[in-house]
């Protein structure tokens, strides 16, 4: 089974619109030459999505993703952003990032509603799962991740537009990435869990790794049988390191 790799850059809360335009102009041409081999998604903050969209141009093969959405379609929800608002500029949305789960107490039930809203609007989902350091150390990482998958995907009938990212919380922004073997072990477990829910379709599901990914360590993840790309935080904020990572994914 060949799955086309996916590399997504999660810019988190970084960059005003002018910086977004600048960073995109530095990377756009090179990234576009790689699109036959790798799907490329850039996820700037909400306030930069429109600028990013026009900086890429409507026919760009590099597409945009949002970092979150609210599950309601519209109305009196001050400060929230709906799926249809995102859909104006984006093809993808990240849901369930651990920073939101931890800092904003986002639950698996919230995440489930968000996934439903995203899919109903035609957005592709990047669902993040991953354990904290205590769970990793006491051997309950798979229990943690299985719960996130089963509850997050409850009543979701079709997984075709869902990508999963395994992002161990202890590896995010810490400079301490998981080993390729540990990431593969979890990616295999994720695929097994998904296959108990969705059967053979799961062979097409892309599973990414995220957490301190850099050009220097991306190969150890891409070499793994069940890992199909990366969700990149800090290294996606530098044109050179992000294009290096995408080039490596294209070369696999
Ligand atoms: P870092 O690559 O900065 O560790 O961030 C990972 C991440 O959270 C991507 O969503």
Tens digit of each residue's pLDDT (9 = 90 or more) over 5-51: 999 999 999 999 999 999 999 999 999 999 999 999 999 999 999 99
pTM, entire model: 0.97
Question: By C-alpha distance, which of 124, 135, 64, 71 is closest to 98?
Answer: 135
More confident residue, 177 or 116: 116
Question: By C-alpha distance, which of 50, 64, 210, 70 is closest to 127?
Answer: 210
What pLDDT score does 188 carry? 98
**pLDDT by residue (tens digit) across 80-99?**
999 999 999 999 999 999 99
pLDDT(67) > 80: yes
**pLDDT by residue (tens digit) across 110-156?**
999 999 999 999 999 999 999 999 999 999 999 999 999 999 999 99
pLDDT(1) > 70: no
**pLDDT by residue (tens digit) across 211-225?**
999 999 999 999 999
| Cα 76 to averaged position of ligand 1 atoms, centre (Å) | 32
The full 3-state SS of the chain, as one line of letters, equals CCCCCEEEEECCCCCCHHHHHHHHHHHHHHHHCCCCCCEEEEECCHHHHHHHHHHHCCCCCCEEEECCCCCCCCCCCCCCCCHHHHHCCCCEEEECCHHHHHHCCCCHHHHHHHHHHHHHCCCEEEEEECCCHHHHHCCCHHHHHHHHHHHHCCCCCCCCCEEEEECCHHHCCCCCCCCHHHHHHHHHHHHHHHHHHHHHHHHHCCEEEECCCCCCCHHHHHCCCCCCEEEECHHHHCHHHHHHHHHHHHHC
32 is catalytic: no
pLDDT(252) > 90: no
CA–CA separation, 176 and 193 (whole Å): 26
> Is 230 in contact with 249 (CB distance < 8 Å)?
yes
Of the candidates 97, 99, 106, 131, the residue annotated as catalytic is 97
Question: 208 pairs with which residues across the strands?
Answer: 165
Site to probe by mutation for ligand 1, drawn from 10, 127, 208, 230 as the one with most ligand atoms within 8 Å of Cβ, is: 10
pLDDT(177) > 90: no
Atom index in ligand 1 nearest the CA of residue 165 equals 10
| Cα 12 to averaged position of ligand 1 atoms, centre (Å) | 9
What pLDDT score does 209 carry? 97
Tally of CB atoms within 10 A around 179: 11
Question: By C-alpha distance, which of 49, 65, 42, 43 is closest to 17?
Answer: 49
Return the structure tokens found at 126: 């990047």
Closest residue CA from atom 1 of ligand 1: 233
Average of pLDDT values for 65-83?
98
């Amino acid at each position: 089974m060949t799955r086309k790799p996916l590399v997504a850059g999660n810019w988190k809360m970084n960059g005003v619109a002018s910086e977004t335009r600048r960073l995109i102009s530095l990377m756009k041409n090179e990234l576009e030459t790689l699109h036959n081999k790798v799907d490329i998604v850039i996820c700037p903050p909400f306030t930069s999505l429109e600028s990013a969209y026009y900086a890429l141009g409507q026919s760009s093969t590099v597409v945009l993703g949002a970092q979150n959405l609210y599950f309601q379609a519209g109305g009196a929800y001050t400060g929230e952003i709906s799926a249809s608002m995102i859909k104006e500029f984006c093809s993808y949305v990240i849901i369930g990032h651990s920073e939101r789960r931890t800092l904003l107490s986002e639950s698996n039930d919230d995440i489930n509603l968000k996934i439903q809203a995203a899919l109903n609007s035609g957005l592709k989902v990047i669902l993040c799962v991953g354990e904290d350091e205590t769970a990793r150390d006491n051997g309950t990482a798979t229990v943690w991740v299985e719960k996130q998958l089963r509850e997050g995907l409850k009543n979701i009938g079709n997984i075709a537009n869902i990508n999963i990212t395994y992002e161990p919380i202890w590896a995010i922004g810490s400079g301490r990435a998981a080993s390729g073997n540990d990431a593969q072990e979890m990616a295999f477990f994720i695929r097994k869990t998904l296959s108990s829910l969705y059967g053979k379709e799961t062979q097409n599901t892309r599973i990414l790794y995220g957490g301190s990914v850099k050009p220097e360590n991306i190969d150890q993840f891409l070499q793994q049988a069940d890992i199909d790309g990366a969700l990149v935080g800090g290294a996606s904020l530098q044109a050179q390191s992000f294009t290096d990572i995408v080039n490596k994914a294209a070369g696999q």
